[in-house]
Structures are given as structure tokens and as C-alpha cells.
Copies of this chain bind each other. A is one copy, B any other.
């Protein structure tokens, strides 16, 4: 009956995510998006409603991929704490060239959008809360498996780890810090492994 869209929605969203992740919301113009997505404004608006709507979709994609990334490392089995530690080593070892930005897109969003922004700011906070909840869940499992002492507080620990994760990735965004990131990541990773009852 009708024409079908020529673009691949997933690929387009991935391109938008990369661009927004690298440049942020305000510094990314529609001209930039037209180039990156190879779409004209009419199509972009038909597909996503607004620049903000597109950013929101890109954020959700980012969040999903990030959580999948953690899950993937955890799925290798073995110690939960080692899994978290390895995930941090993974982030610490990323090459600047292979990623749009070393900092977390959720954090970049939270820092860029004003406190009273009802949409993107709120969404980013919700998604980062999800990430922290996932971390809490893994720690609870570690506790159930006897790896983490029963005296430990998974929620509290998740907050500490989340803070260090956020810090590490913002730290790594600095060009100057290039050489020091892996060491900082390693220190964080070892701190987590040291929580194990089997450790030292």
C-alpha cells in the first residue's frame, strides 16, 4: 500500500547516540544530526518528534547497552566481585579512539541539564538509578553466595562503587590523565576484590 522507510532505525539511533555522547545535547546541532544520520530534518522529526525526543531514545539505547555490558562480564561466571572488578578494568582500559567519550553519557547528561529539567535530566537519573540497582543486585548475589560478608550492606557498597565508577570515567575524559587511568581503575578493582571473605 505504501512506501517503507529507507533508514534502519537501530543504526540511526546508534549514530545519534555516538554523536550526542561525544558532543552533548546543546553542542549538537540539527545540522550535525542531519550529517551523522544521513537524514533530512523532516524525516528526523517524523521519526523522533524532536531533538529532545531523539536524545531520550539515544539515552535509553546507551543505558541498555551499558547494562548489557555489565551483564556480559558477569555472565562469564565465577566470582561476582571479580566480575565487577573486571568490568571496571574493562572501562579503565578503553582506548580513547574506540569510544565516543570516556565519560558516562548518563553522567554527562545529568551534569549538562539544569536541575529543574523535567525530561532528559529526570530520564538520565532514572536510568542511572537502574544501573545502581543492578549493581546492588550483583552484590546481594555475592552475599548469598558467601563471597561478601553478611555484615556488608549491598546498597551502601553499590553507592561507593557507583561513585568510583562515575569518578573513574570522568577522570578518564581528561586528555592529560591518559596514562594514569588504568592504574586508578586497577586500584578500584583491587579494592572491590578485597571485599571478598576469601581475600587476604
Task: Mark A residues whose CB is within 8 Å of B.
Answer: 22-24, 26-27, 96, 101, 103, 107-108, 110-112, 114-115, 121, 125-126, 128-129, 156, 159-160, 162-168, 170-171, 173-176, 180, 183-184, 187-188
Contact = CB atoms under 8 A, between A and B. Distances in A.
A163 B159 contact: no
Nearest to A171: B163
A128 to B, nearest CB: 7
Contacts of A129: 176
A187 B125 contact: no
Contacts of A183: 156, 159
Contact of A160 (B27, B107, B121, B184): B184
A93 to B, nearest CB: 15
B110 A173 contact: yes
State the oligomeric state as a number of copies: 2
A59 to B, nearest CB: 15
Contacts of A128: 174
B110 A174 contact: yes
Given A159-B183, A163-B171, A112 B110 contact: no
Sort A-B residue pairs by CB-CB distance and give the 4 closest, nearest first.
Answer: A167-B167, A26-B26, A163-B167, A166-B167
A96 B156 CA distance: 21
Nearest to A164: B167
Given A164-B164, A167-B167, A184-B163, A173 B112 contact: no
A170 to B, nearest CB: 5
A18 to B, nearest CB: 13
Nearest to A96: B115
Contacts of A188: 160, 163
A170 B26 contact: no
Contact of A114 (B27, B159, B163): B27
B173 A159 contact: no
Q: Which of A111, A168, A174, A176 has the most CB of B within 10 A?
A: A111
